[in-house]
């Protein structure tokens, strides 16, 4: 659910970037240290705010690919 929320707000982010946003923004109460793999609990609002700071990857089209596309037009 949280990954879908972030992906809808920031569709250019990769799956790895979504994961980073979620894991980097968990709340970490001491009581959960040994109970979860992240050491915390999900904080969707914080994850969404963190995702806003992540730069999406830049897609670069090569000249070869561009000319190939144009020749098929």
Mean local confidence (pLDDT), 37-64: 85
| Higher per-residue confidence, 40 vs 14 | 14
The pLDDT of residue 67 is 52
The whole-model pTM stands at 0.69
The pLDDT of residue 73 is 46
**Cα(25)–Cα(44) distance, integer angstroms:** 8
pLDDT at 68 over 90: no
Which residues, 6 or more positions from 63, have their beta carbon under 8 angstroms from its beta carbon?
Answer: none
Mean per-residue pLDDT of the chain: 83
């Amino acid at each position: 659910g949280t990954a879908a929320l972030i992906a809808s707000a920031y569709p250019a982010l990769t799956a790895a970037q979504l994961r980073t946003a979620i894991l980097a923004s968990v709340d970490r109460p001491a009581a959960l240290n040994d109970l979860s793999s992240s050491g915390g609990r999900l904080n969707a609002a914080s994850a969404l705010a963190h995702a806003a700071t992540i730069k999406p990857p830049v897609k670069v089209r090569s000249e070869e690919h561009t000319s190939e596309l144009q020749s098929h037009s």
